[in-house]
Amino acid sequence: MSENLKTGAGKHKRACYVLANLKENMNLDVYVGQSKTVEKRPSSHSKKFNLYNMEPCANEQEMNHLEGTLWHLVKASVRANENHPNTEFCPFCA
């Protein structure tokens, strides 16, 4: 995937992504997000993450649903983003 980001192959306009930072002391930080221009989004984070994965989404509803699901699946103790994504679309909160 990271090679795709460098070469521009496999472009996706709409996707959910997960950024993770596994530190030498084995502490983990995980950020869950969504973007309509996902290739540009990871570099806009001020904190540096060393792992990245994204899942393309067919439409806004799928993107919002997936982001809410991923946010809940990440343990709160390692979640880098404390603010819940749009609860209107969250399958856990709806």
pLDDT tens, position by position, 31-46: 999 888 777 676 677 6
pLDDT at 50: 84
What does pTM read for this prediction? 0.78
What the block records as the tokens of 64 is 């919002």
Profile the chain (94 residues) by mean pLDDT over runs of 10 residues. 45 83 85 83 73 90 93 93 86 84
**Residue 26: which region, alpha, beta or left (left: phi > 0; alpha: psi -120 to 50)?**
left
Q: Are 52 and 1 in contact (CB under 8 A)?
A: yes
Helix (H, G, I), strand (E, B), or coil: what is residue 68? Answer: helix
pLDDT value for 30: 93
